[in-house]
Chains A and B, each alone.
Chain A
């Protein structure tokens, strides 16, 4: 629930803490700094999910051959940063969240910003705060988001639960910002858009013909044991058969695994990405194959230049790294 003020306000953390100290003297400020909350250990458990192969009878290896028809001209990525501003006397966290998203377009080998969005908000569980405390938060000139608005149980929750709720809300805000930029791209441009992450969470992204989602992490792994054996054995430049990914809460997409770099001597997931594109249930298998090969060739072409010095260079395209550098510079 958005309570007050515009998202365009821009306050440094220390400025915000001084303002909060004036508005709410009883607040316990977090002045010793610390890493962003996103760097806390992930709590999502690893998941194995079902994969319905739609290109072949069973998941198998396809060698991607030939040059791409055209390179990706644009890349979409978003970032978020959450910092703890203060705690109330009851331990409810007040979190400053900054999210940004950008589409960078490449022409003549040089990247330029096609569209950029940024917002800065305060996140706090109103249900766990005194009215005066909430009023103080809303008086600081930033949009204040009540992280307990959709969960009455949070009124008596563990402070860490409030923090997780804030992070999830910030993540959601980041997704929405990315979707807004992607929606604009799809409305105005016909060229393919390389999206960092999956498409399933957004109807707009999942149904657009221009978007190609590339997932670098594999907390959710699709396929049974036999399928996983195929996935792990992929060599550089090989992909799996296309399979459909569907779940009740998300938009169905077509997906496949693609090995970007040889994993020799490394983790089986090293250099492995999963690609998501619009699901076309009625498309013949040959068309599916052709599309998957064409998109895979484009993604493989993005291996150069490498995304060094980013540690995730084995799965990250340089265009996405460029977006991240831009977002860091403007955060």
Chain B
């Protein structure tokens, strides 16, 4: 303990007494105390032979003079505000503060705060006050820096406990704040870097999966950002390398045309770690309920979808009257199967049912499922091509960014549901490749709203929030309005960060526990400042964190402009150049020759997925396998005539078969 100057004195009156959890003290007018300052009180009298020591954080401040009414000041200045007195005297003024108790030492007996002297907490005091001493000691050492506490010239790193951030004691982190101040994304990027740098060895490996849901926010995590000296000093003080993430992998679906990836990180200079994210029928059917509207798909439709899932997908399937034996592995196969089924029903004149399923239900399900590949174009392929995150081979300290910013809302939900479910399955089996995964989801207002329908995504988020810590699946979530997020999602977040807040949001009941001064401070926080709540901290603490050492999305988008829409040959050449830099557009044109776009794209996807040693030979070989054959002209069966406009599902889709 340093021999610090007395900063103030504890005071109490009968009308405003001190309690075990709150006390008042006054200071000199020039003291460095402010809202959020941590102080130490030394009691004057020993209790059980020990001088009590109390730590508190300032939550409210008052200043006043002995002026009884403003009229007296008017009187003193003869009613003229500019009338300056020539006297040396000024009214006596007080700075009176209220502090919330952080910790008593000794902890028992828990008594009201004594009328002691008040000192500014030094670095050691801060550690004790916030109970960080328990997890910063040798042997535990599970501290993860979240920022620097500053007051009166003292700078103390504030640590979160990894056991309470990543589990198993508690887990999850939620950050809230107004948009446009780069606080939420920056704080998450900083905290991921800090976690990677300080995650305790004994707790195993850790990786992060980030969903980029808007703009280029997370598109340049592997590129260095601009830092000033103050930022570098913060990095040094907290022992975190001021460098971008060393291992980042990007995954994005294709555009609807399927030529290029649908991401703002499409500049060729950055393409070395950008991979396609495409799924086929099998992957989508596992999560059909994410995409199918519950109000639209009733129990009968559900039953038929289950039938397809269990009896048709990936199996040999035929039935009396079917033209052939089907093996449904893609949307194209499924469409074939539906055509055969409906034709059979019509030809055999079986009435309105096939295997207990009503024809109307069959048509409805066909309509909804085949619609998926349109709604999720670029993500879901007709051919069943799968390109996925490396489940089972996750790297320690790697960041996997899933860029869904360019997808429709349904498709975003599908991606989110499937990726998180796969993470969960692998973590349960302990074969993901890492022990812990931090999943970052922004816009939680949208995915887990407090009100609204109980969607699959919201249920899954609730499940992670409530049970994920046992698996090592940790949710890092962000939103603008915490009050509008499902209570169980934010309530299960062991650690909460708050950036600058909107006044209306602060007026909601969830913030009533904060003092008016703390709320005012939250409404005026600068960039780079956060209020932290953590299980070990009995009161919220304000910290400052450095700018992330990665390129800001806006800067990255300017420096690495998005690739222009290109021809199929150019797109294929560019995709293959990642495997073999000698591939040119001319060579691709020569190889693909007259083959149609679908064949070329299929060849590209297979090559990218296989990553052969001889890329050119492998790619060219894909076309030799395609033997163009003239299809025998078969008169298609007469379809069930449905007058245009009489479609019971309201789709008004063109008739599947041309009428004779």
Contacts and interface: CB of A to CB of B under 8 A. Distances in A.
A308 B86 contact: no
A111 B92 contact: yes
A304 interface: yes
A232 interface: no
A306 B88 CA distance: 13
Interface string B69-85: 10011011100000101
Given A110-B29, A325-B66, A305 B76 contact: yes
A330 to B, nearest CB: 14
B68 A301 contact: no
**Residue among A75, A110, A111, A317 facing the most chain B CB atoms (10 A cut-off):** A110
B73 A305 contact: yes
B398 to A, nearest CB: 60
Given A304-B83, A309-B66, A111 B75 contact: no
B624 interface: no
A161 B238 CA distance: 78
B63 interface: no
Contacts of A312: none
Given A110-B29, A325-B66, A305 B89 contact: yes
A72 B92 contact: no
A68 B88 CA distance: 11
Contact of A305 (B29, B69, B85, B86): B85
Contacts of B47: none
Contacts of A319: 87-89
Contact of B67 (A107, A109, A308): A308
B90 interface: yes
Interface in B118-135: none
Contacts of A73: 88
Nearest to B30: A110
Nearest to A313: B72
B68 A304 contact: no
**Residue among A73, A303, A305 facing the most chain B CB atoms (10 A cut-off):** A305
A317 B75 CA distance: 14
A303 B75 CA distance: 10
Contacts, number: 69
A297 to B, nearest CB: 8
Given A304-B83, A308-B67, A106 B88 contact: yes
Contacts of B67: 305, 308
Contacts of B641: none
Contacts of A65: none
A52 interface: no
Given A304-B77, A305-B73, A306-B76, A318 B87 contact: yes
B83 A306 contact: no
**Residue among A68, A107, A322, A325 facing the most chain B CB atoms (10 A cut-off):** A322
B559 interface: no
A302 B87 CA distance: 5
Nearest to A306: B76
Contacts of A302: 87, 89
B91 interface: yes
A302 B69 CA distance: 19
Contact of B86 (A71, A306, A317): A71
**Residue among B29, B66, B67, B83 facing the most chain A CB atoms (10 A cut-off):** B66
A11 B212 CA distance: 74
Nearest to B92: A322
Interface in A317-331: 317-319, 322, 325
Given A305-B76, A309-B66, A309-B68, A106 B89 contact: yes
Interface string A56-87: 00000000000110011101000000000000
A71 B77 CA distance: 17
A109 B76 contact: no
B286 to A, nearest CB: 74
Contact of B76 (A75, A106, A107, A304): A304
Contacts of A304: 76-77, 83, 85, 87
A111 B28 CA distance: 12
Given A304-B76, A305-B67, 11 more contacts: A111-B92, A301-B85, A305-B85, A305-B91, A306-B73, A317-B89, A318-B91, A319-B89, A322-B89, A325-B66, A325-B92
28 contacts: A67-B86, A68-B86, A71-B88, A73-B88, A75-B89, A106-B88, A106-B89, A110-B29, A111-B89, A111-B92, A302-B87, A303-B85, A304-B76, A304-B77, A304-B83, A305-B67, A305-B85, A306-B72, A306-B76, A308-B68, A308-B76, A309-B66, A309-B68, A309-B72, A317-B87, A318-B91, A319-B88, A325-B66
Interface of B: 29, 66-69, 72-73, 75-77, 83, 85-92
Interface of A: 67-68, 71-73, 75, 106-107, 109-111, 301-306, 308-309, 313, 317-319, 322, 325
